[in-house]
Amino acid sequence: MRRNTSTNICHHFKFFFPFGNIISVFTGKAFGHNFDASAEWDKNFIDRVHTCDEAAIINGELTPGSMLAVLTGEKTELVLRHPVLTPQHCVRNEPVYEGVESMDAEFKNLVNNAVINQSAELNKRFLDARPFRHIAIDDFLEEDFARSLLEKFPAFDEKLAVNEDGEVGGKAVHQKVTSLGPVWRNLDALVAGPQFRKLISRITGVDDLNFDPEYFGGGTHENLHGQSLNPHVDFNYHPSTRQHRRLNLILYLSPEWDDSWGGSIQLHKDPYLPPSEDEIVTITPAFNRCVIFETNEHSWHGFKRIELPEDRRDLSRKSFALYYYTDDRPAEEVGAEHSTIYVEEHLPEHFVEGMELGAEDLQYVRNLLTRRDQHLKRLYKDIQRLNTDLSYLRGEFGIDEDPECIEPGENDSMELIVLKKRYAGMQRRIREYENSTSWRITRPIRVLKRVLSGKG
C-alpha cells in the first residue's frame, strides 16, 4: 500500500507485474538495437535471459528493475504475475504492505509443523540413508491442504501424455502448475518461497537452493495402469539457467496404494547389476508422503509396471514433482552434462534355461523388446539430428578442428564463440548416446555406429 500524504488517500495494488534485472542490459537503449526481433536465435536468447531473471527474482537473489501495476483507492483482490512476486517480495527495503499475507504465516499454515520442528532429526536420517541420500516424510503437508490438492488434481489429459516416441502413453504431466487453480497456486508459492527452501536445506544439508518456475520435467504427474519407469539418473543441468540439479522432491497424492500393485518408487545402488546383487529400497507412494533425494550421477530410481486389480483401475498414481538447483556443487559431484540416462529392465530371475514360456512370460518379453526398440529408435533420431547440426556448423563457420581442441579465439565474435561451444556440446551429447546402455547392446547397432563415425 502507498499513502498519498497530501490527500490522505490510501492506494492499494490491484495488479502487479514485476520484471527485468539482468535482461535490462540487453534490452536497453545501449544494446537493444543489436537484436533482431524477427531472428529466432535472438528471441531464444532473450527468452533464456528472462527465464534466468525471473527464477532469480522468485528465489530472492535479485529484485525486479521494472513493473506494470494498477493502483486503486479501494482495497480489492490483488492480481499477481506469480504468487511469490508480491510487492512485498520485490521491493528492496522490504516494507510491510497492507493486504499482503505474510509468507511466514502461509508457510506454517501449509506445512505440517511437526516436520518443521523435527528438521534436525530428518537431516540425520537423510544423510544416513542408503543406497544414496534420501528421506520419506509422512504427513508432510497439513491434512486439509493436502486433501484440497487431491480434490483439485487435474484430470488425465491425453494431450499432455505424449511420450518421448510421439505416442499417447499412460503418463500425463502438467508443468503449468499455476494454471491449475488457487490451491495449486498456493502450493507453487509455498515451494518457491524462501522459508520452504530453507526448510529443505536444513533437512538435506544442501544450501542456497533455487526454485525452477518452469517446472522443467516436474509439475503434476499421473500414471495409469500399465505404466512403468525404468531405473534412471536425471539430467544434471537446467537447460535454461545452466544451474546444477541437486534435489528431487516428490509429493504423493494417491488416496490409497499397495506395493503389490507396482508403481512404488525404487532407489537403486546400481541397476546394471542383477536384482539379486543390487541394493534396492522400495517406498510406497502413500498419500501426503514426501520423498526427497539427492540428484547426482548415482541417484538411480524408477518404478515397476503398475498392475492394478480389475476392480481398482479407477485409481492412478498421482504425484507432484519439483527439482531444486544450485549455482555450483561439490567438485567431486560434478559430472559431464547429460540428459536422463535409462537402464533397461532385467529379465526376471525365474527366467532360466529350459523353462517353458507361458502367455504372460511371452508378453513380458515382447513388452521389454518393444521398449528397448523404441529407446534405440529415439537415440538414433537424436544422433542423426545432432550430426545434421554439426555438419551445418562445420560448413557455415569452417570449423574443422578436433572439437576437444576448440577454444574461443581473442578475435572471435560472440556468435562464433557460442557456436563453437554448441559444436563441442553436440559432440559430447553424441558420445553420451553412444555410451548409453541401449546403444551398446547389439552388433548391428555397433556397425551403425561405425558407419555414422565414417569408419565403416
Number of domains, the chain: 3
The mean pLDDT of 252-280, rounded to a whole number, is: 95
Q: How many CA atoms lie within 13 A of 385 on its CB side?
A: 8
Which distant-in-sequence residues (6+ apart) come within 8 Å of 410 by Cβ?
none
User: Confidence class of residue 31 from pLDDT cuts 50, 70 and 90?
Assistant: low
How confident is the model over 325-342, as pLDDT tens digits? 999 999 999 998 888 888
CB atoms within 10 A of CB 262: 19
Which distant-in-sequence residues (6+ apart) come within 8 Å of 116 by Cβ?
108, 199
Cell of 31: 544494446
Look at 141 and 445; give whichever has higher pLDDT: 141
CATH of the domain at 247: 2.60.120.620
Strand 290-294 to strand 244-252: parallel, antiparallel, or no bridges (unpaired)? antiparallel
Cell of 346: 532385467
Same domain, 119 and 94: no
- Is residue 106 one of the residues assigned to a domain? no
Q: Is 146 exposed, middle or buried (0-12, 13-18, 19+ CB in 10 A)?
A: buried
Cell of 70: 494498477
Same domain, 338 and 376: no
Same domain, 242 and 388: no
How confident is the model over 300-310, as pLDDT tens digits? 999 999 999 99
Cell of 330: 561439490
What phi and psi, each to the nearest 5 degrees, are found at residue 80? -115, 150
Q: Is 136 exposed, middle or buried (0-12, 13-18, 19+ CB in 10 A)?
A: buried
Same domain, 181 and 311: yes
Same domain, 66 and 203: no
pTM over 0.85: no
Which structural domain, as residue segments, surrounds residue 81? 2-100
Exposed e or buried b for every residue in 404-439, given b needs 16+ CB within 10 A?
Answer: eeeeeeeeeeeeeeebbeebbebbbbbebbbebbbb
Same domain, 154 and 220: yes
- Is residue 350 one of the residues assigned to a domain? no
Look at 228 and 364; give whichever has higher pLDDT: 228
Q: pLDDT at position 365, please?
A: 83
Same domain, 303 and 376: no
User: Confidence class of residue 415 from pLDDT cuts 50, 70 and 90?
Assistant: low
Same domain, 284 and 401: no
Contacts 24+ apart (CB under 8 A), 403-412: 403/427
